[in-house]
Amino acid sequence: MSMFGQVYVKNSQYKIKGDFHHLTPNMPIRDADDGWKLLGVTNPRDMTYIHSYGGEAVFFESLSKGKLLASRCDNPKCEYKGSVYQPFRIHCPDCLGKNSVLDMTDIARKTSKIHTFMMCERSGAFNMLNKPIKFINIEFDGVCTILMSYLSVGDPVI
C-alpha cells in the first residue's frame, strides 16, 4: 500500500515523497527549513504528449513497409549537390534547401557494412534491449553520412 504523495521544500529544493506518480490534490507544500511554513498546494495534472514526425513521417512509414529511405540534395546551386544522407534529413545541411526522397533499400542490401561497433553490458534506465547491446555504425556506398543503430541478430564484424 502506497503513501499519499507529498511535496515539501528542504535546502531550497522540492522533495517528493510517497507515490510519485499519483500526487494527491490539494496537499500542502511546506518549507521544512522555515517552521513548515505553507508555500502552496499540490495540483497534479495528467499530460498527454503528442509527437509528430513532421517531414520525417515518410521515412518512418517506409520502415514499417521494409524500405529504407534516404534523402539527397538536388539544389543546382549547392556545392554538395547530389549528396545522399542516411539517416534521412529533410533539409540539406549545407544549402538548407529541401532534400529529395530516395529509396535506398537495394543499395543498403548490397553495400551496407559495419563501420564500427560497441558492445554494452549495461544500459540506461528504461532500456528494454537485450544485453549485451550491440551498437553499430553502418556505411553505405554513395552515402556521405553514417547510420547509427543496434544489431538485434548476430554478432558485429568489421
Are 102 and 70 in contact, with CB atoms under 8 Å apart?
Answer: yes
Are 44 and 66 in contact, with CB atoms under 8 Å apart?
Answer: no
Residue 155 scores a pLDDT above 80: yes
Amino acid identity for residue 72 in this structure: R
The residues near 120 (Cβ < 8 Å, ≥ 6 apart) are 131, 132, 133, 135
Q: Band of the pLDDT at 146, cuts 50, 70, 90?
A: very high
Weakest mean pLDDT among 28-37, 58-67, 123-132, 145-154? 123-132
Q: Band of the pLDDT at 138, cuts 50, 70, 90?
A: very high
CA dist., res. 67 & res. 107, Å (int):
11
The model's pTM: 0.65
Q: What confidence score (pLDDT) does residue 53 get?
A: 86
Instruction: Give mean pLDDT, residues 34-40.
Output: 90
